[in-house]
Chains A and B, each alone.
Chain A
Amino acid sequence: MKEVMTKNRLKEAFEKVNPGEKIMNLFITAGFPAIDDTADLILNYEKNGANIIELGMPFSDPLADGPTIQYSSEVAISNGLTMDNIFDIVKKVRASSDIPVVLMGYLNPLLNYGLDEFFQKAENSGVDGLILPDVPVEESDIINDLALKHHVPLIYLVAPNSSDERMRLVDEKSNGFVYCVSVTGITGARKGEEVQDSVNRFIERVNKNIKNNPVLVGFGISSHADAMNISAKTDGFVVGSALINNIRSVHPQKNWKEEHFKFVRSLKYGS
Chain B
Amino acid sequence: MITSAKPKKSYDFPSAKGYFGKFGGKFVPEILIPAIEELEIAYNEAKNDENFKKERLFHLREYVGRPTPLTFANRLTSHYGTGKIYLKREDLCHTGAHKINNTIGQVMLAQRMGKKRIIAETGAGQHGVATATVCAKFDLECIVYMGEEDMRRQKLNVDRMRLLGAEVRSVTSGSRTLKDATNEAIRDWVTNVHDTFYIIGSAVGPHPYPMMVRDFHDVIGLETEQQILEKEGRLPDYVLACVGGGSNAIGIFYRFVEHEDIKLIGIEAAGEGALTNRTAATFAQGKPGVLHGSLSYLLQTGQGQVALAHSISAGLDYPGVGPEHAHLFDTGRVKYVPVTDTEAMDAVRRTSELEGIIPAIETAHAMAWLETLMPELSKDDIVVINCSGRGDKDMGTISEYFYPQDNGGTK
Residues of B within 8 Å of A83, CB to CB, are 303-304
Q: Compute how far the CA of A156 lies from the CA of B30 in the bound complex, rounded to whole angstroms.
A: 8
Shortest A84–chain B CB gap in Å is 10
Question: What mask results when residues 286 to 304 of chain B are scored 1 for a CB within 8 Å of chain A, else 0?
Answer: 0111111100001010111
> A60 to B26, Cβ gap below 8 A?
no
* A60-B174, A111-B289 given; A136·B30 CB < 8 A: yes
Residues of B within 8 Å of A113, CB to CB, are 303-304
Shortest B360–chain A CB gap in Å is 26
> B290 to A166, Cβ gap below 8 A?
no
Q: Of B34, B287, B292, B300, which contacts A63 at CB under 8 A? A: B292
Question: What mask results when residues 121 to 163 of chain A are scored 1 for a CB within 8 Å of chain B, else 0?
Answer: 0000000000001111011000000000000000011110111
> A61 to B306, Cβ gap below 8 A?
yes
Question: What mask results when residues 152 to 170 of chain B are scored 1 for a CB within 8 Å of chain A, else 0?
Answer: 0000000000000000000
Q: Of A106, A108, A133, A186, which contacts B30 at CB under 8 A? A: A133
> B27 to A61, Cβ gap below 8 A?
no
Q: Compute how far the CA of A166 lies from the CA of B31 in the bound complex, rounded to whole angstroms.
A: 11
* A60-B306, A138-B17 given; A112·B31 CB < 8 A: no
> A161 to B291, Cβ gap below 8 A?
no
Q: Of B33, B183, B298, B304, which contacts A162 at CB under 8 A? A: B33
Question: What mask results when residues 177 to 202 of chain A are scored 1 for a CB within 8 Å of chain B, else 0?
Answer: 00001001110010000000000000
Shortest B69–chain A CB gap in Å is 40
Q: Smallest CB-CB separation from B184: which chain A residue?
A: A63
Interface window among B103-111, B186-194, B243-251, B273-281: B186-194
Q: Of A138, A139, A157, A161, which contacts B34 at CB under 8 A? A: A161
Question: What mask results when residues 393 to 406 of chain B are scored 1 for a CB within 8 Å of chain A, else 0?
Answer: 00000000000000
> B179 to A186, Cβ gap below 8 A?
no
> A106 to B33, Cβ gap below 8 A?
no
> B289 to A186, Cβ gap below 8 A?
no
Q: Compute how far the CA of A189 lies from the CA of B31 in the bound complex, rounded to whole angstroms.
A: 14
Interface centre among B25, B30, B291 (most CB of A within 10 A): B30
Q: Compute how far the CA of A158 lies from the CA of B29 in the bound complex, rounded to whole angstroms.
A: 10
Q: Compute how far the CA of A61 lies from the CA of B301 in the bound complex, rounded to whole angstroms.
A: 13
Shortest A107–chain B CB gap in Å is 5
Residues of B within 8 Å of A139, CB to CB, are 25-27
> A63 to B187, Cβ gap below 8 A?
yes
**Is B44 part of the contact surface with A, judged by Cβ < 8 Å?**
no
> B194 to A60, Cβ gap below 8 A?
no
Question: What mask results when residues 167 to 178 of chain B are scored 1 for a CB within 8 Å of chain A, else 0?
Answer: 000000110000
Q: Of A61, A110, A170, A186, which contacts B291 at CB under 8 A? A: A61
Q: Compute how far the CA of A189 lies from the CA of B184 in the bound complex, rounded to whole angstroms.
A: 13
**Is B407 part of the contact surface with A, judged by Cβ < 8 Å?**
no
Shortest A202–chain B CB gap in Å is 12
* A61-B174, A108-B304, A113-B304 given; A184·B190 CB < 8 A: yes
Q: Smallest CB-CB separation from A158: which chain B residue?
A: B30
> A108 to B298, Cβ gap below 8 A?
yes
Shortest B382–chain A CB gap in Å is 41
**Is A34 part of the contact surface with B, judged by Cβ < 8 Å?**
no
Residues of A within 8 Å of B190, CB to CB, are 63-64, 184-186
Q: Compute how far the CA of A166 lies from the CA of B33 in the bound complex, rounded to whole angstroms.
A: 10
> B290 to A181, Cβ gap below 8 A?
no
Q: Smallest CB-CB separation from A112: which chain B residue?
A: B304
**Is B28 part of the contact surface with A, judged by Cβ < 8 Å?**
yes
Q: Compute how far the CA of A109 lies from the CA of B187 in the bound complex, rounded to whole angstroms.
A: 20
> B34 to A163, Cβ gap below 8 A?
yes
Q: Of A70, A109, A111, A186, which contacts B305 at CB under 8 A? A: A109
Residues of B within 8 Å of A4, CB to CB, are none
Contacts of B207-221 to chain A: CB distance below 8 A: none
**Is A44 part of the contact surface with B, judged by Cβ < 8 Å?**
no
> A181 to B30, Cβ gap below 8 A?
yes
> A109 to B303, Cβ gap below 8 A?
yes
**Is A59 part of the contact surface with B, judged by Cβ < 8 Å?**
yes
Residues of A within 8 Å of B25, CB to CB, are 139
Q: Smallest CB-CB separation from A71: which chain B residue?
A: B173
Q: Compute how far the CA of A18 lies from the CA of B259 in the bound complex, rounded to whole angstroms.
A: 69
> B304 to A110, Cβ gap below 8 A?
yes
Q: Smallest CB-CB separation from A84: which chain B residue?
A: B303
Q: Of B29, B289, B304, which contacts A133 at CB under 8 A? A: B29
> A134 to B33, Cβ gap below 8 A?
no
Residues of B within 8 Å of A270, CB to CB, are none
Question: What mask results when residues 11 to 37 of chain B are scored 1 for a CB within 8 Å of chain A, else 0?
Answer: 000000100000001111111011100
Residues of A within 8 Å of B298, CB to CB, are 108
27 A-B pairs (CB sep. < 8 Å): A60-B305, A61-B306, A64-B31, A66-B187, A77-B305, A83-B304, A107-B27, A107-B290, A108-B290, A109-B303, A109-B304, A110-B304, A111-B304, A133-B29, A134-B28, A135-B27, A136-B26, A136-B29, A139-B26, A157-B30, A159-B31, A162-B33, A162-B34, A166-B33, A170-B30, A184-B194, A185-B191
Chain B residues within CB distance 8 Å of chain A = 17, 25-31, 33-35, 173-174, 179-180, 183, 186-187, 190-191, 193-194, 287-293, 298, 300, 302-306
> Nearest 4 pairs between A and B by C-beta?
A112-B304, A109-B304, A60-B305, A64-B29
